[in-house]
Amino acid sequence: MIRYGIVGCGHIAKKHVDAIAAVKGAELTAVCDKDPDRLEPFLQEGVEGYTDLADMLQSDRLDVVNICTPSGLHPALTIQAAEAGKHVVVEKPMALTLEDADRMIEACEKNGVLLTVVHPNRFRPAMKELRRKMEEGAFGKLSHANATVRWNRNQEYYDQAPWRGTRALDGGVLMNQAIHNLDLLLWMMGEVEEVSSYHATRLRNIESEDTSVSVLRFKNGALGVIEAAVTIYPRNLEESLSVFGESGTAVIGGRTANWIKTWNFEGVSEEETEKTVQRIEEDPFGVPGHQCIIQDMTEAVKEGRQPVVSGEDGRRALALVIACQTAAETGKAVKMSDLERKSKKAGDPQ
**C-beta separation of 39 from 46 below 8 A:** no
pLDDT digits (tens, 9 = 90+) for 128-149: 999 999 999 999 999 999 999 9
> Do the bridges between strand 192-200 and strand 115-117 make them parallel or antiparallel, or are there none, so unpaired?
unpaired
Would you say residue 280 has pLDDT above 70? yes
Q: Specify the pLDDT at position 343.
A: 84
pLDDT band for position 199 (cuts 50, 70, 90)? very high
Q: Specify the pLDDT at position 345.
A: 76
C-alpha to C-alpha distances, 71 to 7, 25, 162, nearest whole angstrom: 12, 28, 13
> Do the bridges between strand 238-245 and strand 142-150 make them parallel or antiparallel, or are there none, so unpaired?
antiparallel
Q: Specify the pLDDT at position 165.
A: 96
Task: Return all residues near 141 (Cβ < 8 A) that are at least 6 apart.
Answer: 245, 246
Average pLDDT, integer, range 304-319: 98
Element (H, E) at 64: strand 64-67
Average pLDDT, integer, range 234-258: 98
| CA–CA separation, 151 and 294 (whole Å) | 27
| CA–CA separation, 329 and 327 (whole Å) | 6
pLDDT band for position 349 (cuts 50, 70, 90)? low
27-31, 122-126, 339-343: least confident range: 339-343
Average pLDDT, integer, range 71-86: 97
Q: Specify the pLDDT at position 15.
A: 97
pTM of the complete model: 0.95
What strands lie across the sheet with 48-50, from one edge to the other? 48-50, 26-32, 2-7, 64-67, 87-90, 115-117
Would you say residue 346 has pLDDT above 90? no
pLDDT band for position 221 (cuts 50, 70, 90)? very high
8-17, 207-216, 287-296, 336-345: least confident range: 336-345
The full set of domains in the chain, from first to last, is 2-118+290-308 (3.40.50.720), 121-286 (3.30.360.10)
Average pLDDT, integer, range 66-86: 97
Average pLDDT, integer, range 253-271: 98
Would you say residue 350 has pLDDT above 90? no
| Phi, psi of 188, rounded to the nearest 5 degrees | -85, -45
Percentage of the chain exceeding pLDDT 90:
97
Element (H, E) at 125: helix 125-136
Determine the 3-state secondary structure of 31 from DSSP: strand
Q: Mean of the per-residue pLDDT values for the chain?
A: 97
